[in-house]
Structure 1
Amino acid sequence: MSGASIVVFDIGNVLIEWNPEAWFDRRIGPERRRAMFAEVDLHGMNDRVDLGEGFRDIIYATAEAHPAWRDEVRLWHDHWIELASPAIPRSVRLLRALRAKGVPVHALTNFGIDSFAVAQRHYDFLGEFDHAHVSGHMGVIKPDPAIFEMTERAAGASGATFLFADDRPDNVEAAAARGWRTHLFESPDGWAERLVAEGLLTEDEAL
Structure 2
Amino acid sequence: MTTDIRHIVFDIGKVLIHYDPHLPFSRLIPDETERNWFFANICTHDWNIEQDRGRTWAEAEALLIKQHPAREEHIRAFRKYWHEMVPHAYDDSVAIMEGLIAEGRDVTMLTNFASDTFREAQARFPFLTKPRGVTVSGDVGLIKPDIAIYETHTKSFGLDPAATIFIDDAPVNVEGAKAFGWNAVLFSGPEKLRSDLAGYGVKV
TM superposition score normalised by structure 1: 0.89
Structure 1 residue 171 displacement after superposition: 0.7
Q: Any idea what the Cα deviations from partners look like across 1:52-90, whole Å, max 9, x if unmatched?
A: 1223x1343245222222212212111111112321111
Aligned to 1:12: 13
Aligned to 2:72: 70
On the 8 A contact 1:2/1:200 being kept in 2, the answer is no
Q: Distance in 2 between matches of 1:6 and 1:94?
A: 14
Aligned-residue CA RMSD (Å)? 1.8
Structure 1 residue 184 displacement after superposition: 0.5
Q: Any idea what the Cα deviations from partners look like across 1:14-58, whole Å, max 9, x if unmatched?
A: 011122245523542312211212321432222121111223x13
On the 8 A contact 1:59/1:74 being kept in 2, the answer is no
Aligned to 2:194: 192
Aligned to 1:151: 153
Q: Distance in 1 between matches of 2:18 and 2:50?
A: 20
Give the partner amino acid of 2:172.
Answer: D
Question: Equivalent residues in 2 for 1:24-103 (5 A)?
Answer: 24-29=25-30, 30-55=32-57, 57-65=58-66, 66-103=68-105
Q: Distance in 2 between matches of 1:59 and 1:188?
A: 35
Give SS of 1:106's match.
Answer: strand
Q: Any idea what the Cα deviations from partners look like across 1:100-147, whole Å, max 9, x if unmatched?
A: 000011100001111111111111111111010111111100000100
Runs (4+) of structure 1 exceeding 3 A deviation are none
Give SS of 2:181's match.
Answer: coil
List runs of 5+ in structure 2 lacking aligned partners.
Answer: none
Q: Any idea what the Cα deviations from partners look like across 1:146-169, whole Å, max 9, x if unmatched?
A: 001111111222322111011111
Q: Distance in 2 between matches of 1:104 and 1:3?
A: 13
Give the partner amino acid of 2:128.
Answer: L
**Identical positions, percent:** 36
TM superposition score normalised by structure 2: 0.90
Which has the larger displacement, 162-171 or 43-52? 43-52
List runs of 5+ in structure 1 lacking aligned partners.
Answer: none
- The aligned length equals 201
Give the partner amino acid of 2:191.
Answer: D
Aligned to 1:113: 115
Give SS of 1:173's match.
Answer: helix
Give the partner amino acid of 2:102.
Answer: A
Q: 2:127 aligns with which of 125, 128, 147?
A: 125
Structure 1 residue 175 displacement after superposition: 0.6
Give the partner amino acid of 2:55.
Answer: E
Give the partner amino acid of 1:115.
Answer: T
